[in-house]
Amino acid sequence: MPKGYTVPGMDDQTAAQIRDLLQHRLDALTDLHLTLKHIHWNVVGPNFVSVHEMLDDHVDDVREMSDDVAERIATLGGVPQGTPGALVADRDWDDYALGRATTQEHMAALDKVYGGVIRSHRKAIDKTDDLDLVTQDMLISQSEKLEMFQWFVRAHLEDTGGNLPSADATSEVEAARAVSGQQ
């Protein structure tokens, strides 16, 4: 990439830091929208229709987030990597662990997935604090929506007291087992 190709007022070193940070967010969001579609195809049981349709809205919005992140990378003079091989090579998380499962099992597992994506988005927000407020603003807006999606998912799981049966689970599989009674 040409030296000096970034936004006005930003030096090459800062732009490179932000591009690297954003590439990890792009990987996470791309993985998330594929995982959401996987769940959409493999969810069964009570509340199937509402969960199936809810996930399509999540997929659309997360795809848009991915596009925004990729375009920000390009705006900063980078080359967004969106190929499956690059994503798998660079990610630091495992594939989604459930196949065909009930709405409750998938919602409990998805709660863990959303938690991981939100935590890593928040870390990226913190890192952009002194680097680029435009990028930070984008990540904050995305986090707001991701947090709302997690709330939708949790609403399928919690009791009237706000307790989640999968709250203590440390993995997707543990979360699914907690809501299915397979401790």
The reply to whether 1 falls in a domain is: no
pLDDT at 183: 59
145-150, long-range: CB < 8 A, 24+ apart: 145/61, 145/65, 146/62, 146/114, 146/117, 146/118, 146/121, 147/118, 149/58, 149/61, 149/114, 150/111, 150/114, 150/115, 150/118
Q: Is residue 147 part of a domain?
A: yes
Domains contained in the chain, number: 1
Note whether residue 6 is domain-resident: no
Question: Which residues pair with residue 102 across a beta bridge?
Answer: 44
Report yes or no: 105 and 181 within 8 Å, Cβ to Cβ.
no
Assign residue 78 the CATH number of its domain. 1.20.1260.10
Q: Note the pLDDT of residue 181.
A: 77
Give the pLDDT confidence score for residue 93 in this predicted structure: 87
Give the burial string for 26-52 (b: 16+ CB within 10 Å, else e): bbbbbbbbbbbbbbbeebeeeeeeebe
91 within domain boundaries: yes
For residue 171, being part of any structural domain is answered with yes
Burial 129-147 (b: 16+ CB within 10 A, else e): eebbeebbebbeebbeebe
Is 7 contained in some domain?
A: no
Mean pLDDT by 10 residues, the chain (183 residues): 73 95 97 97 94 96 98 96 92 92 97 97 97 97 98 94 93 94 68
Q: Residue 6: its pLDDT value, please?
A: 84
Q: Where in the sequence is the domain holding 36, given as residue range(s)?
A: 12-180
Q: Please give the pLDDT value at position 3.
A: 58
Question: Is residue 80 domain-resident?
Answer: yes
pLDDT given for residue 136 in this prediction: 98
pLDDT attached to residue 8 = 86
Domain annotation covers residue 21:
yes
Output the six-digit token pair for 159: 């009791």
Q: For residue 23, what pLDDT is reported? A: 97
